[in-house]
Structure 1
Amino acid sequence: MSLDLTLRGATVLRPGRGPVAGDLPMAGGLLTDAPAGRAIDLSGYLILPGIVDLHGDGFERHLAPRRGVVSAMDQGIMAAEAELAANGITTAVLAQFWSWEGGVRGPDFAARVFQAIAATRGTVATDLRSQLRLEVALLDDYDRLPAMISDWGVSYVVFNDHLPRDRLSEGRTPPRLTGQALKAGRSPEAHLELLHRLHARRAEEPAALERLCAELAASGIHTGSHDDRTADARRVWRNRGVRIAEFPETVEAAEAARAGGDAVILGAPNAVRGASHKGNVSALDLIAMGLCDALASDYHYPSPRRAALMLAQSGVLDLASAWALVSEGPARILGLTDRGRLEPGLRADLVILDARTRQVAATFAGGRVSYMSGEIAARFLG
């Protein structure tokens, strides 16, 4: 149930004004411009727009805490939602692989995940959404995917290509073959045979992708490419109507995306660490160059909040610009015009931080409490 409240005494991040002292009323799940409900003293706290996480796969560990051990799917989704809320995330896009890698990334498992997200959606406060990460080599699945995407309510598809093509072309054994085969439930020989079979159809991929991208676009699905390395790669995807560049690996690819008017999403863990864990271009460098529209959690849900605060504290950006990378920016990319800013008429999606420690004290999604802990709970409970 959404709450009617007037939050008083806190510092509020307002659009176009930055952090200012003032009241923040909400009623019926929306922010309002008139006092509403009970007044709560939040002096000593900072209120920011709720985090919109465009791409996160940290929920995998909730669904499969150990190899071969899969939790009850709906319970795993609910456990992940609790972690999202504890980190100030009010809209979460759960990124699930549809891959030849099998196991928790295989199509059968993915179908169960999407069904569980659809069933859980609406029963929790956090707005849970789905992203399908399609390995482009799975050509035989292209015809059936659009209908399933519609049934599951998937709103975002990203194209990946993790096939070890160089090794396969050279006739060499791909690295980590045995480990990958075991995760997929195949023998190393069967796994290698599958990789060669998929790679042998690479000439069919461009035309098939053209058709699939056109069908997804006609259905209003957002599409993105993943790990672009060159300007040419980004141009090819743009020509297919794929206008989101997720985690470009080079300055060249990020510059090409920006020049073409495409949205650039970077990994928040990369920004927090100051470097990519894979040795790619630093997200900090791209942000400083103005080549970032949004930061995503990637594999670590605390990172969006930490990255935005770090950017502000280090002087790379002011707080409003830094926080926009995890709120207004991602909301705009997904076409979610009802959130990402704290202004009357928008969803009451907000995260409340302790002004001293900058830790999450409470999170509201659509005016509903999704997380609350510590001293702030006493203020709400009276």
Structure 2
Amino acid sequence: MPTILPSYPALRFTGAEILRDGEMQSRSIAIADGRITRGPLTEVNLAGYMILPGIVDLHGDAFERHIAPRPTAPFPSSTGLRSTDRDAAANGVTTAYLAQSWSWEGGKRGPDYAMAMMQALDSYRPQALTDLRLQIRCETHTVDTADRLLAAIQKFGIDYVVFNNHLDEADHLASFNRDELYAWAKNAGRTVDEHLEVIKQAHRQRTQVPRYLCRLADRFDELGVIYGSHDDPDGETRETFSMIGAKICEFPTARSAAALARAVGDPVLMGAPNIVRGGSQSGNIAAEDLVRMGLCDALVSDYYYPALHLAAFHLADMGALTFPQAWAMISEAPARILRLPDRGRLDPGRRADLTIINSETRAIEATISGGRITHLAGEAAHRFAFASMGAQMAAE
């Protein structure tokens, strides 16, 4: 099959409210060759719309449902990634980190599956509309996988890792919820007894874990990998991770962990669904409370892409932040945290990453990622088509 080269339209959007320099402004914005630019170009009248920086999502596992809509009904990874790509684009996401576990838990969370996902994404990436990347969620008690993990990170260019520890959860299930433990073991392709033995083996690594994490941290620094921790239960845990260089505090489950992160300058990430639903689905601290206390820097999709833009509007509607401040939590702040200087703001020369929202309905009607139109629907689609026809008639 012939190679289809990506198309980068050269357009100027007029009439919209545009987020620039921390405020909504009535002005035009142009894109060409994949970048935000200046100059007279074919105009698209977007009066009645908001043009916002593309959403940068640092942690999402919605891809799991696209690959396996039901636990017993998996589809090829390529199909799932294509569906994830479209899902992200339809919800204004222009950069998306897919949160893939690397764990003793096995199954879809095990190293073998993680390696397969790295290969699948590497193969799919040339077709991708969204800038799809993998975040590795590394269980702390995976000491014997160090060489394999580091080799994979280097081979596939993984640039973001978070550490987490699910052993306490496993111990709780073993003692108080055998039915859920059975389901966990079944998903990993094990009997309950086999799964309990794996948990015991993980516990036996506890004396080696500190040295293991330090080894990984040293190598991550050499490779330029940004790393952090997930589900910190308290300030002491966050301080320990911070001291080894794992500076990102992702989904702290208690205020003390977020407060310690703030005290030492570590960015705090929380789930956007937590904001939209009014609290954590697992009973942990409410993300909106952390935002109001100034203890949250950025929001991520977690398990649901639509929650990202809905959370920004919710925070503004509730008076927790201004709308530009709220939108920055899903665009400028995450781009800064992951050291992505070419995105997150609508400045000339940056990547043309735009999320275009109907001001009345608040529906995302267009997404442009890296200068390519990745989603187009509703009235916005008619505006783009009309502009295209006008340009063709003028040329004739």
TM-score, normalised with respect to structure 2: 0.93
Could you say which structure has the higher helix fraction?
2
Structure 2: how far apart are the matches of 1:222 and 1:3? 33
Q: Residue 5 of structure 1: CA displacement?
A: 0.2
Q: Does 1:150 align with 2:154?
A: yes
Contact map agreement 2:170 2:181 (CA 8 A) in 1: no
Structure 2: how far apart are the matches of 1:271 and 1:108? 34
AA aligned to 2:243 is N
Q: Does 1:25 align with 2:30?
A: yes
Once the two structures are superposed, what CA deviation does each residue of 1:19-47 show, in whole Å capped at 9, x if it has no partner? 11111111111111323x31111111111
AA aligned to 1:22 is R
Q: CA RMSD for the aligned pairs?
A: 1.6
Residue 83 to residue 166, structure 1, CA distance change in 2 (3 Å): closer
Aligned to 1:122: 126
Contact map agreement 1:97 1:106 (CA 8 A) in 2: yes
After TM superposition, the runs of 4+ consecutive aligned structure 1 residues lying more than 6 A away are none
Q: Residue 253 of structure 1: CA displacement?
A: 0.6
Structure 1: how far apart are the matches of 2:163 and 2:171? 21
AA aligned to 1:27 is A
Aligned to 2:15: 9
Q: Residue 144 of structure 1: CA displacement?
A: 1.7
Q: Residue 166 of structure 1: CA displacement?
A: 8.2
Structure 1: how far apart are the matches of 2:362 and 2:126? 29
Contact map agreement 1:222 1:334 (CA 8 A) in 2: yes
Residue 313 to residue 165, structure 1, CA distance change in 2 (3 Å): closer
Once the two structures are superposed, what CA deviation does each residue of 1:176-203 show, in whole Å capped at 9, x if it has no partner? 2211111111111111111111112211
AA aligned to 1:31 is I
Once the two structures are superposed, what CA deviation does each residue of 1:192-217 show, in whole Å capped at 9, x if it has no partner? 11111111221111111111111112
Once the two structures are superposed, what CA deviation does each residue of 1:138-179 show, in whole Å capped at 9, x if it has no partner? 1110122111111122110111111137838x9947642211
Contact map agreement 1:165 1:199 (CA 8 A) in 2: no
**Unpaired stretches in structure 2, ≥5 consecutive residues:** 1-6, 387-396
Structure 2: how far apart are the matches of 1:171 and 1:115? 34
Task: Name the SS for the 2:126 alignment partner.
Answer: coil
Structure 2: how far apart are the matches of 1:216 and 1:20? 41
Contact map agreement 1:164 1:174 (CA 8 A) in 2: no
Structure 1: how far apart are the matches of 2:171 and 2:157? 37
Aligned to 2:136: 132
Residue 33 to residue 58, structure 1, CA distance change in 2 (3 Å): same
Task: Name the SS for the 1:52 alignment partner.
Answer: strand
Q: Which aligned pairs between 1:1-382 and structure 2 lie closer than 5 A?
A: 1-16=7-22, 18-35=23-40, 37-164=41-168, 167=171, 172=175, 175=178, 176-382=180-386
Contact map agreement 2:231 2:253 (CA 8 A) in 1: yes
AA aligned to 1:337 is P
AA aligned to 1:68 is T
TM-score, normalised with respect to structure 1: 0.96
Q: Residue 125 of structure 1: CA displacement?
A: 2.0
Contact map agreement 1:88 1:363 (CA 8 A) in 2: yes
Contact map agreement 2:231 2:250 (CA 8 A) in 1: yes
Q: How many pairs does the alignment contain?
A: 379
Structure 2: how far apart are the matches of 1:262 and 1:299? 23
Identity %: 47
Contact map agreement 1:130 1:153 (CA 8 A) in 2: no
Structure 1: how far apart are the matches of 2:96 and 2:274? 19
AA aligned to 1:12 is I
Once the two structures are superposed, what CA deviation does each residue of 1:71-118 show, in whole Å capped at 9, x if it has no partner? 111121011000000000000001111122222212211111111111
Structure 2: how far apart are the matches of 1:355 and 1:194? 52
Task: Name the SS for the 1:331 alignment partner.
Answer: helix
**Unpaired stretches in structure 1, ≥5 consecutive residues:** none
Residue 208 to residue 272, structure 1, CA distance change in 2 (3 Å): same
Q: Residue 313 of structure 1: CA displacement?
A: 1.6
